[in-house]
Each structure stands twice: as C-alpha cells, then as structure tokens.
Amino acid sequence: MMKISIFGLGYVGAVTAACLAKNGHKVVGVDPVDAKVNMINRGETPIIEKDIGAIIKTVVSDGRLTATTSASNAIEKSELSLVCVGTPSHANGDLNTHYVQRVCEHIGESIKHKSSRHVVVIRSTILPGTIRNIVIPTLEKSSGKFAGRDFGVCNNPEFLREGTAVYDFYNPPKTVIGETDCISGDLLASIYQNLGCPVIRTVIEVAEMVKYVDNVWHALKVGFGNEVGNICKALGVDSHDVMDIFCSDEKLNISPYYLKPGFAFGGSCLPKDVRALTYKGKSLDIDLPILNSILPSNNLHIENGLRMVMEEDNRQIGFLGFSFKAGTDDLRESPVVEMIERLLGKGYDIKVYDKNVNLAALVGANKDFIFNRIPHIAKLMVKTMDEVLQHAQTIVIGNDSSEFKDVMARAKENQKIIDLVRAVKGRNSTGLYKGLCW
C-alpha cells in the first residue's frame, strides 16, 4: 500500500484517485474547488463516468480516499504525487501549462521542509520539453532542492477514454513511464504492477511525446475513415464493408509496418494509386484534404533529404542503394532516383551502387528502364560498395540493405554519412552521421 496524492480532481484525476484507492492505496485528492472536494468527501463523484460513482462511494466509506484544498496537507500525507490538471489550448493553439506550473509551485513549497524523498509525477498531457524546461525548474525554485537527488520527477501519460475510463484504467494498452532516475521510476511502476499490461520505461521526452502521437494518430484515423466513406458513398460502395475488410488485415494495415520514420515512399503502387484515388475524388467534386496532402507531404520529405545533402557543401556524393526499397530492383518512382537526378542537375559528381539494380541491368525486367529511361544514372553505377566509399565526400544511404549496416566502420575519417532510412544501427556523436528524421 502506498500513500498517494492526486492534484486535480477533474476527469483524469477523479478516475485515477478512485481506481488507485480501490487497488488498496491510501489516496488524497487535491483541488482548489471546494465543491469538488466536498463531493469526494461525501462519497459522491464530481464527474459523469460509468462505474466511478460506486467506486468513490466505497473507497471513501472505507477511508482509502479523502480530498482537500491544501497542497501542503496532501504532500505531508503522501510519498508520491500525480499531477492531473488540465492543459488547455491558448487562442493560437499553443499548450497552456499555467495550471501545471502553478501546481508545481505549490508542491515545491510543500516539499521544501519535508525530510523524506518525494516523487512528482506529471500525468497531464504535456509537450516534449515541458518537464525539463518548466516542471523541474519550478519545483527546484519553489523547494530549494534538486531533481534526481532530493526529489524525483516522472511523466506518466494516461490513456483513458471518456465513457470507458474505469475499464481503460484497469485494462490499459500500455503503461508508459518517463523517468529522471530509476528510484522514482521503480516507485511509480509499483502502483501498476498488477494491471497485466506492458510497462514501458523510457526517457522523459519520449514519454511526453507518446501521448500526442497516440491522439494525433487516432484523429488521423477518424479523418481518413471519413474521407474514404465520402468517396465510397459517391461511388455507391458500402464504406463499412470496405473498412471491415481493411481492418481485418493485421499484418500490414493494422500493424507497425509503414509507421517507422524513414524516407519517402515510392515504387510502382503507392504513388500511382494515391494519384488515382485523389483524382477520382476531384472528378466527383469531393474535398479530400487528408488524402490530397499525402503526395505533397511525400515530396517535402524528398526536399528534406536534398537539403541535408546540399548543406554539407561537398561536391562528390555517393549513393548506397537507390531502388525504392531494399531487396528489389524496382526503380519506378524511387525517391532516391529523384534525389540523384536533382543533384545531377546541380552539377554534383555522383557514383551510385545497388547490388540488386546491378543485376537488373544485366538480366532483370528493369533493364530497359535503366538504359533507356535513366541512362544518365546508369552511367554513374559502379559494381562495388568500395568504389562509392573511395569516391564520396558525402555518403547517402538510400535503402536499408543489410550490407550497408556497417558503413560507419568502413567510412573514412572525414566522410559525412546521411542515412535516409536508419540503416545504420550504431551512431556516433561526432556529427559525421546524420539521420533524416531522427
């Protein structure tokens, strides 16, 4: 059993407080609104949520949950605090961290004279950098103590859906803990040990970002599904039948595939099929802002890769891999081919190597494409990776073929490496290696 204080008795705070108390912990809720505090202390719920009323009534009656307006009183009675206050938007869309900062001031002032070590956990949704730049400085200034030594700080984003929050608390998809030190992370992890879900412990900034990625992804899925529905309706196709089949594919569609940051997509299918569907939407006079943004977004990624190469100000460039992905000889709409052609037009001295494309040039189906459609690039092809390494001042890795994974060990001391696909697993901090979006 742990002694826990919950700051903020809104939706997340009330559910978290009640469920932790139900699990046997001694919980005190803190809120500046007297009405909420009084309702909790009477065994009543301050929010509308399935099952929460009965839980609060029971845990208050059993003495496991109380509430107060006094931060110092709550800190004195607890060893770990969960901050669950709101983070609304400013008028310009920026995150409003006023309530988080204000609560941290109160907590800092309360732990100033506390002899035992206290752990502060931010459960509110906050952008990366908030804990390092706002939470920790505020706590240190208010308490006169130092984070990691005198008190601990963690981030613990919540994944509660309105209407199913109690179920979600006990059946989470994951528990994410961003920690400044292992002792604090251990203490926080102990309150979730019986939930039966993966507990993922990571650095603070990753934990802060995960909640935003989750929510933006869910928003994107809703928008994507609705745009597909609009096209289907216009074509007389049952959109729910289509999406039921789409969602039944858990190998590619509902899976980690295609979701890891890397380079732009290409090949014989994706670009042309996006074009065809968005063109059909235009012909039906349907506005599809999400689908219409896919190809422009992809093109911006190619521009980012080009900018990284040109910023190095090296004229001798070597490309390792230029088919649109490893294990294929397909050069159709390869984003790497686009980069090579753009750099050639700017006068760069280029050599390219791709084992699969070399074979295709001899016997493959792409032979005609290589020698008749991109003969200017065919002239740049070399037979070995070593020839590229000998030539290049900047090495660009275009696909994640296994033979490129040790390129850093084989590169010369002053060669720059630009990895478009995260093919290199071990990276250094000398500035010679740069990833496209990591």
pLDDT for res 356: 85
Q: What is the pLDDT along the chain (438 residues), one digit of tens a residue?
A: 999 999 999 999 999 999 999 999 999 999 999 999 999 999 999 999 999 999 999 999 999 999 999 999 999 999 999 999 999 999 999 999 999 999 999 999 999 989 999 999 999 999 999 999 999 999 999 999 999 999 999 999 999 999 999 999 999 999 999 999 999 999 999 999 888 889 999 999 999 999 999 999 999 999 999 999 999 999 999 999 999 999 999 999 999 999 999 999 998 899 999 999 999 999 999 999 999 999 999 999 999 999 999 999 999 999 999 988 888 888 888 999 999 999 999 999 999 999 888 766 666 666 777 777 788 888 899 999 999 999 999 999 999 999 999 898 899 988 999 999 999 876 655 568 999 998
pLDDT for res 36: 96
Q: Which residue in 353, 352, 354, 301 sits closest to 328, CA to CA?
A: 354
Say which CATH topology domain 297-435 has: Rossmann fold (3.40.50)
Which position among 182, 247, 269, 437 bears the catalytic label?
Answer: 269
Q: Which residue in 68, 67, 59, 61 sits closest to 24, CA to CA?
A: 59
196 class by beta-carbon count within 10 Å (0-12 exposed, 13-18 middle, 19+ buried): exposed
pLDDT for res 336: 95
What residues are designated binding site? 31, 36, 87, 125, 159-162, 211, 258-262, 266, 272, 325, 332
Task: Write out the H or E segment, with its range, that includes residue 350.
Answer: strand 349-353
SS3 call for 17: helix
Q: Evaluate whether 381 touches 361 at the Cβ level (below 8 Å).
A: yes
pLDDT for res 331: 83
What residues are designated binding site for substrate? 159-162, 211, 258-262, 266, 325
Q: Which amino acid is at 373?
A: R
Radius of gyration (C-alpha) of the chain in whole angstroms = 28
Active site residue 232: no
Q: Which CATH superfamily is domain 3-202 in?
A: NAD(P)-binding Rossmann-like Domain (3.40.50.720)
Q: Which residues contact 200 (CB under 8 A, 6 or more apart)?
A: 174, 175, 176, 177
Between CA 370 and CA 358 the distance in angstroms is 10
> From its phi and psi, is residue 327 left (phi > 0), alpha (psi between -120 and 50) or beta?
left
Q: Which two tokens stand for residue 330?
A: 């397909």
What residues are designated binding site for NAD(+)? 31, 36, 87, 125, 162, 272, 332
pLDDT for res 359: 66
In the chain, where the domains are located: 3-202, 205-259, 297-435
pLDDT for res 413: 86
Could you check whether 3-202 and 297-435 share the same CATH topology?
yes
372: DSSP letter: I
pLDDT for res 324: 84
Paired sense of beta strands 175-179 and 151-155, if any: antiparallel
pLDDT for res 372: 78
Q: Which amino acid is at 307?
A: R
Q: Which residue in 195, 165, 158 sits closest to 50, CA to CA?
A: 165
